[in-house]
Structure 1
Amino acid sequence: MQDFHAHSNYSDGGFLEGMARSAESAGLEGIGFTDHCNVSPRERLETVRSVYGFNLDITYERRRRAIERLREETSLAIYDAVEMDYDPRDEPEIRAFLEEAAFDYALGSVHEIRGMNVQVASNFVELADDELDAIVEDYVETLVSLIESELFDVAAHVDLIARTSPLRGRATDDHYRRIASAFASSRTVPEINAGRALTDEEIVHPSERFLEVLREFDVPVTVGTDSHRPAEVGDRADFLREFVAEYGVDPVAPPGLERPKE
């Protein structure tokens, strides 16, 4: 069992060493640090980066040296990876950065639609039903674009809109099939994400129905706890162990780990 989606203090997570030690204590064989990164040249997102300090494009070499030191101190496999914000307008900048940085693998995420974070319910509570449906349609189109771009090894939390009450339940089987069809034709794979599985809402990405559609299309999946604190790693890893056993899923490694480095 390995965790291919975790965060450290190089974005919005706990200290790198503490996260690694927690993965080791949880009996994991490996952990991938996929700190947030946005390389959009657009002014608003540059401001957001400054405010939140998501500057892995500046600090990845320092984090890489820290990871190399941790590797010398443990038998745990530690992967040097990234979670990139995706917008189709930013593909040239994303591609250039990923080629330069040469991470072990890369996750891509759709966090924003029309300049609004899809995890923030207050962005959508005043919208009419047709407007909410349009947001969901835009989310699906952007996710399909992410998959088809093949910039990433993994598409993270592929139904992120399910976290947000005004958007939850608006995705249809047709949406799921469009996404699954894109995955079936791409090297990019989705993940089973446990980031909200142990909350009161018990949200697993993808949802049970979405996972069944992915299986209909014979789409492989990887796994990630999406942990941001050391205390989260063990419980979420245990959840994923039970989840994949219950659903008969045999997770794969991110495709980037299967390709030899050039």
Structure 2
Amino acid sequence: MRDFHVHSNYSDGDFLRSMVRAAETAGLDGIGFADHCNVASRERPESMRGVYGFNLDLTYERRRRGIERLQSDFDLEIYDAVEMDYDPRDEAAIDTFLSEAGFEYAIGSVHAVDGNNVQVASHFAAMSDAERDAVVDRYFDRLVALVESELFDIAAHVDLLERTPPLRGRATEAHYRRVARALADSRTVPEVNAGRALSDAGVVHPAERFLTVLRDHDVAVTVGTDSHHPDELPDRAAFLEDFLDEWGLEAVDPDGLGTDA
């Protein structure tokens, strides 16, 4: 069992060594550090990048040296990866950075629509049903564009808006089938993400309806706990292992990184 999506102090998570120790305690065979990075030059993402430290483009070489030291100290695979915010306007900048940095794999994610983070309920609370449905449409437009860009090995939490009560349940089977068709034609693999699976919301990405559609299209999946702190990782990893068994899934490694989960 490998966890391909965790964060460290190089974005909004805990120290590298603490996260690796948690993976070792959980009995994992590998852990992949995919810290957040945003390379957009527009004012709002630039501001958020400064506030949250999503600037791995400036620090990846230092983090890589830290990962290399840990690889000699621990008997498990430790992967050097990145999670990048995707906006079609940034494709050239993303491509340039990924080509330069040479990560073992790259995760792409859609966190915002029209500048609003889809995880923040207050952005959508005062909207009409029609306005919320339009947000959902635009989210899936951007997700399809992410897949079709062929920039990423993994598409993260592919129905992120299910975390947000005003948007939850508004995605349709047509949305899911559109994404599934794009993934079936792409090298990009969606992840089963446990970042909110053990919360009060109990949200697993992708949701059951979406996962069923992905299976109908023979789309493979990979796995990530999306852990930011050591105490999150063991329970989320155990959940994912049980989830894969329940669904009869065998997770693949992004870009052929070794044995299956």
Give the TM bin, normalised by the shorter chain. over 0.9
Find the residue that maps to 2:257 and give its secondary structure: helix
Read off the aligned partner of 1:65 and give its amino acid letter: R
Asked if residue 124 in structure 1 is aligned to residue 156 in structure 2, the reply is no
TM-score if structure 1 supplies the norm length? 0.97
Query: Larger deviation: 151-160 or 43-52?
Result: 43-52
Once the two structures are overlaid, the 10-residue window that deviates more, 43-52 or 155-164, is 43-52
Output the CA distance in 2 between the equivalents of 1:212 and 1:202: 18
What is the match of residue 161 of structure 1? 161
Secondary structure of residue in 2 paired with 1:257: coil
Q: Any conservation in 2 of the 1:194–1:226 contact (CA below 8 Å)?
A: yes
For 1:233, the equivalent position in structure 2 comes to 233
Q: Deviations for 1:70-98, whole angstroms, at most 9, x for unmatched residues?
A: 00001110000000000001000000000
User: What does 1:111-150 align with in structure 2 at a 5 Å threshold?
Assistant: 111-150=111-150
The TM-score with structure 2 as length reference comes to 0.98
Q: How does 1:54-65 map to 2 (within 5 A)?
A: 54-65=54-65
Asked if structure 2 preserves the Cα contact closer than 8 Å seen for 1:109 and 1:155, the reply is yes
Q: Within 1, Cα distance between the matches of 2:81 and 2:233?
A: 17
Question: Amino acid of the residue matched to residue 252 of structure 2?
Answer: V
Q: Distance in 1 between matches of 2:135 and 2:207?
A: 19
Secondary structure at 2:187 match in 1 = coil
SS in 2 for 1:83: strand
Gaps of 5+ in 2: none
Structure 1 equivalent of residue 75 of structure 2: 75
Q: Look up the match of 2:52.
A: 52
C-alpha contact (below 8 Å) 1:106/1:256 kept by paired residues: no
Q: Cα offset for 1:257?
A: 3.0
Give 1:1-262 correspondences, 5 Å limit: 1-255=1-255, 257=257
TM-superposed CA distance for 1:256, in Å, is 5.9
SS in 2 for 1:3: strand
Residues 225-259 of structure 1 deviation map (CA, whole Å, 9 limit, x = unaligned): 0000000110000000100000000000012637x
Q: Do 1:104 and 1:256's aligned partners in 2 also have CA atoms closer than 8 Å?
A: no
Change (3 A) 1:108 1:256: farther
Residues 87, 110 of structure 1: 8 Å contact kept = yes
Matched AA of 1:63: R
SS state of the match for residue 166, structure 1?
Answer: coil
Deviation at 1:47, TM superposition (A): 1.3
State the SS of the aligned residue for 2:135: helix
What per-residue deviation string (whole Å, max 9, x for no partner) do you get for residues 154-209 of structure 1? 00000000000000000000000000000000000000000000011110000011
Q: Is the 8 A contact 1:116 1:123 kept in 2?
A: yes
**Partner amino acid, structure 2, of 1:13:** G
- CA–CA distance in structure 1, aligned partners of residues 81 and 256 of structure 2: 10
Aligned length: 258
Q: Which runs of 5+ in 1 are unaligned?
A: none
Contact 1:105 1:256 in 2 (8 A): no
**SS at 1:255 equivalent:** coil
Query: CA separation in 1, counterparts of 2:239 and 2:52?
Result: 30
Change (3 A) 1:96 1:256: farther
C-alpha root-mean-square deviation of aligned residues, in Å?
Answer: 0.8
**Could you tell me which amino acid in structure 1 is paired with residue 26 of structure 2?**
A
Question: Is contact 1:84-1:106 (8 Å) kept?
Answer: yes
Q: Displacement of 1:52 after TM fit? A: 1.5
Bigger drift between 65-74 and 45-54 goes to 45-54
**Matched AA of 2:151:** L
Q: Tell me how far 1:218 sits from its aligned partner.
A: 0.1
